[in-house]
Amino acid sequence: MTDVNNPYPMTDFTALSHQVADVARRAGQFIRQEAATFDRGRIQHKGLHDMVSYVDQEAEKMLVAGLRELLPQAGFITEEGTTGADSQATSVGTALTWIIDPLDGTTNFIHGLPCYSVSVALMEGPELVIGVVYEVNLDECFRAVRGGGAFCNEQPIRVSAAPALSQSLIATGFPYSNFHRVDDYLSILKQFMSSTNGIRRVGSAAVDLAWTAAGRFDGYFEFNINSYDVAAGILLVREAGGHVTQFLHDGDPIFGREVLASNGTLHAEMQGVIGEFWEVK
């Protein structure tokens, strides 16, 4: 019997997460098909170095339609705003909210570089409850449910066991429109270059987080990042046994515009490096 005082009755998030993965895969299949014949003349510029294509927009429409069938009562935060949703939202309310990026790694896609993904997260109030990242080229679907663990193509995944930065591989992203702190960022990169096994820039924040959850990367950091880039991946890392915060404190990494993820063991060491050059503003 439905509680009339609760407009959002109990949901089986585990069962729902499998359906979300199916929706993400279908959008990914569309993206893969379009990649074979994509015309770079059909791109639009949303801002400095910020591009969008009809593929992003159509994939988002597919995701929204599929997710609305699953949870008609849920709201949306979307990158391309095809539903009229707020792509710049800085928080969510008490309701169920989808946070989606239909094509994370648009620049890679446009240039034919094979790393881009579909990212879908569901929040119940302020809590992440489902995270799905589908990497299109490798056909890898990462899935996590709050309290239920993390998986890649339905095999359990865990963060790495790297004990120190000196034995780690770190991922990051580079700013493409906001350069006011780029000197600080370059100083951080220089320090990580000299204290780790290396730094990688894949070009999809969702994939960076998914690969951190799977133990391929030992840590990841990026600033000037959006909720739809990281929401799903944050849950993946947490459910795989890792730790995710803002750069220097435990503030909200979903809407806080900066994210630091690690296997947990490296977290304080990574914060120490970042803290040498990065002041909270």
Whichever domain contains 88, its CATH number is: 3.30.540.10
- Do 23 and 150 fall within a single domain? yes
Both 21 and 124 in one domain: the answer is: yes
Is 101 annotated as a binding-site member? yes
- Read off the pLDDT of each residue in 166-180 and give the average, rounded to a whole number: 86
Residue 169 marked ligand-binding: no
pLDDT at 93: 63
Looking at the structure of the chain, the number of domains it has is 2
| Domain limits for position 215 | 165-275
pLDDT at 5 over 80: no
Torsion sign (Cα): 242, 93, 141, 20: positive
> What confidence category does residue 37 fall into, taking pLDDT thresholds of 50, 70 and 90?
confident
State whether 222 and 124 are in the same domain. Answer: no
Average pLDDT over residues 28-53: 70
Tens of pLDDT, residues 229-276:
999 999 999 999 999 999 999 889 999 999 999 999 999 999 999 999
Phi and psi, residue 257, nearest 5°: 75, 5
Does 58 show up as a binding residue in the annotation?
no
48 and 100 assigned to the same domain: yes
208 carries a ligand binding annotation: no
**Mean pLDDT value across residues 186-193:** 96
* CB 120 within 8 Å of CB 232: yes
Compute the distance between CA of residue 107 and CA of residue 214 in angstroms, rounded to an integer.
24
Task: Say yes or no to pLDDT of 103 above 90.
Answer: yes
The whole-model pTM stands at 0.90
Average pLDDT over residues 209-226: 97
**Once rounded to an integer, what is the mean pLDDT over residues 54-61?**
90
Let me know whether 56 and 19 are in one domain.
Answer: yes
22 is in an annotated binding site: no
